[in-house]
Amino acid sequence: MTIKCEELYKVFKEQNLDYFTGVPDSTFKDWMKFLADNHENGLTNRIAVNECEAVSLAAGYHLATGNIGVIYMQNSGLGKTVNPLTSLTAKEVYSIPTVLMIGWRGNPKNEKKDEPQHKMMGKIMLPLLDVLEIPYKVLEEKDDINIVREKIFWAKQTAKQTNYATAIIMTNGLFEEYDALKKIKTNYEMFREDAIKFIINNLGGDEIIISTTGKTSRELFEYRESLKQGHEKDFLTVGSMGCSSSIALEIALQKPNKKVFIFDGDGATLMQLGALATVGHNNPKNLTHIIFDNNAYDSTGGQPTSSDSVDFKKIASACGYMNAKQIESKKDLVDFFKEIKNLKQEGPKILVIKVNKGARKDLGRPTITPIENKQALMDFLGK
């Protein structure tokens, strides 16, 4: 049995739960499309750059209105919220009620195989909620709208009574497909995969690439396969969204004679934006940071990020990057690579490439394990 997004919203509205904030998850991608269509049309949808911020936004909402906010996240993001849940909204501190809406990736009861980065959190999510003293209910495929109503009523009333968090766990297959009314279209010359292929074709072959989680790493892996190249020079960051730049920074500092490239996304960069300051402060001369900016969380359903109001190149320059550019065309990409080959200016470089969102429907996944990927890179770096 599937739930219509319109019906779920009516249930939330009955409980005066019409403020939503968080980071999208593919478990409820149709619900995210509904929120995007109806933002400011009876509800608020405040997409945050990370889950810590989402808890803080919901806290501010409660302080200003006395109402309870709903914080949506993938269960990987639950780990990120431990700090504000224990030091801000906890009963021992400010005692602020919230309702957490958590997508259960890596559910050990789900027969469908999930990605390796979700296995551990999928296994420990419920015990972690118990440790955090957060009561929860699980919404399952078999639940009809009346059962859903009862569980959300429970979540709201329990949060109100305890002045702390409660959680609604969302399993796969809950929602009926929702066709978004608001579809943002762009007309850039390239998709992310086009740009990745061009960059690989114009590298010398000895560079190290640290790629962000999601479809960026999948596209890099598949292109290497099509070229019959190895993967020992790439680190495919399958989880840890936003952390690729920090991984790459330390590798660049430890291996100053190696050229290191970061393949990043706009959502991932925003999630750990402070990492740019660390890169600039440490001034690695061998690091090039590339952001494929499609204004979307592409791997979780294409929900919008806030990158349309962000100037990454100005931020990077202010953080100490020595060369910062934003481009949109293949010609600009050609010119950039010609420029950096002759660039004598030392220090980290950043290139923001505006691309269309979306990926091939037949895009595969890495056929090597994260441990195999790690070991191959370490062996290459250790030579």
Please tell me whether residues 270 and 361 are part of one structural domain: yes
Which amino acid would we find at residue 41?
N
Give the tens place of pLDDT for each residue, 47-65: 999 999 999 999 999 999 9
Please tell me whether residues 153 and 62 are part of one structural domain: yes
Please tell me whether residues 40 and 157 are part of one structural domain: yes
Please tell me whether residues 161 and 234 are part of one structural domain: no
Whether 317 is covered by a domain: the verdict is yes
Please tell me whether residues 358 and 224 are part of one structural domain: yes
Please tell me whether residues 151 and 198 are part of one structural domain: no
pLDDT of amino acid 158: 98
Whether 176 is covered by a domain: the verdict is no
Q: Which of 140, 170, 200 finishes a domain?
A: 170
DSSP, collapsed to helix, strand or coil, labels residue 81 as: helix
pLDDT of amino acid 111: 61
Please tell me whether residues 9 and 125 are part of one structural domain: yes
Structural domain boundaries, residue 309: 192-382
Whether 330 is covered by a domain: the verdict is yes
Please tell me whether residues 68 and 164 are part of one structural domain: yes
In sign, the C-alpha dihedral spanning 218, 123, 110, 130 is negative
Please tell me whether residues 343 and 196 are part of one structural domain: yes
Q: Which residues pair with 139 in a beta bridge?
A: 170
CATH of residue 280's domain is: 3.40.50.970
Q: Which of 139, 170, 201 finishes a domain?
A: 170
Give the tens place of pLDDT for each residue, 140-161: 888 899 999 999 999 999 999 9
pLDDT of amino acid 380: 96
Whether 372 is covered by a domain: the verdict is yes
Our count of domains for the chain comes to 2
CA-CA distance, 315 to 312, in Å (whole number)? 5
Whether 288 is covered by a domain: the verdict is yes
Torsional class of 108: left (φ above 0), alpha (ψ -120 to 50), beta (otherwise): alpha
Whether 143 is covered by a domain: the verdict is yes
Please tell me whether residues 134 and 241 are part of one structural domain: no
Please tell me whether residues 57 and 160 are part of one structural domain: yes
Whether 161 is covered by a domain: the verdict is yes
Give the tens place of pLDDT for each residue, 221-247: 999 999 999 999 999 998 889 999 999
pTM: 0.92
Buried b / exposed e over 157-194, threshold 16 CB at 10 Å, is ebbeeebbbbbbbbbbebbeebebeeeeeeebbbbbbb
* Whether residue 173 has pLDDT greater than 70: yes
Please tell me whether residues 153 and 267 are part of one structural domain: no
